[in-house]
Amino acid sequence: MPIEVDTSERLADIARATIEVASERGTQAVTLRAVAERLGRSTAYITNFVPSRADLMANALEHARARWDEERRAHLGERVGVERLAELARWMCSTSPEEQVLRSLWVEVIADVHGANRRAYEVVRSVTDATYEKFLAGAGEVRAGSGAGRGDGDGDATVDRTEAARIADILYLYCRGSEVKSIEDPAAWTDARMQDSLELLLDSLVFRRA
């Protein structure tokens, strides 16, 4: 009888090997051969599951997306309203060595939106679109100041849709910018520096309205 192959497990192994190669040697070193060597397999074995370098990138990002979803849920927990919005921003602007590698991968993917990396780009796009929607939902729960909400200026109304969209835009762009700078110049743009400026932004943009 033929041996049953767990494709999802093999793809997860390939995703981990891809990230390890990128972490140790840089994203440009990610090739089918390098990942095969990392797993102690032949290149033909890898292409049986992932046929091209672009698919290697997409596979790694797809597995990261599932992990990001789990980590975000765990980090936000039962928080609601303004605190949930703030924690989402803090989580997005935090980093780790593996996060740096994944960010480097998606920067390379974004640079080739219309080329071979289209599939990987769609993964990145789906993640960023979903994150923006969560910012927008959270911003919609920010309390308005006098006369700025849907109520009668009593401070109990939430901001209107236009104002919520502005808040979401600013937080989203800040977090995306922080991810790029953390790749471009990690020695200067440390987690501590990012989080310090984020707290100032949250204070002026969110907490003073609450």
Domain boundaries, the chain: 53-207
pLDDT per residue, tens digit, the chain (210 aa), is 445 568 999 999 999 999 999 999 999 999 999 999 999 999 999 999 999 999 999 999 999 998 888 999 999 999 988 899 999 999 999 988 888 999 999 888 888 877 888 888 998 889 899 999 999 999 998 877 533 333 444 455 778 899 999 999 999 999 999 999 999 999 999 999 999 999 999 999 999 876
Q: Which residue's entry shows tokens 């292409």?
A: 47
Q: Which of 131, 143, 144, 141 is nearest to 171 (CA)?
A: 131
Helix residue ranges per DSSP H, 77-160:
81-92, 97-110, 118-139
Query: What integer pLDDT is reported at residue 159 of this predicted model?
Result: 84
Query: What integer pLDDT is reported at residue 22 of this predicted model?
Result: 94
Angle at 123 between CA 121 and CA 129, to 5 degrees: 95
Q: Which residue's entry shows tokens 């990001």?
A: 68
C-alpha distance from residue 138 to each of 75, 119, 142, 152, 177 (Å): 15, 29, 7, 22, 20
Helix (H) or strand (E) holding 61: helix 53-76
Dist CA 22 CA 119 (whole Å): 19
What topology is assigned to 53-207 in CATH?
Answer: Tetracycline Repressor; domain 2 (1.10.357)
SS3 content of the chain, % helix, strand, coil (to 5): 70, 0, 30
| Amino acid at site 4 | E
Q: Is the dihedral of CA 35, 39, 40, 46 positive or negative?
A: negative
Q: Which of 157, 15, 16, 136 is nearest to 85 (CA)?
A: 136
Query: What integer pLDDT is reported at residue 210 of this predicted model?
Result: 63
Give per-residue pLDDT as tens, 15-71: 999 999 999 999 999 999 999 999 999 999 999 999 999 999 999 999 999 888 899
Query: What integer pLDDT is reported at residue 81 of this predicted model?
Result: 87
Query: What integer pLDDT is reported at residue 96 of this predicted model?
Result: 86
Dist CA 169 CA 201 (whole Å): 13
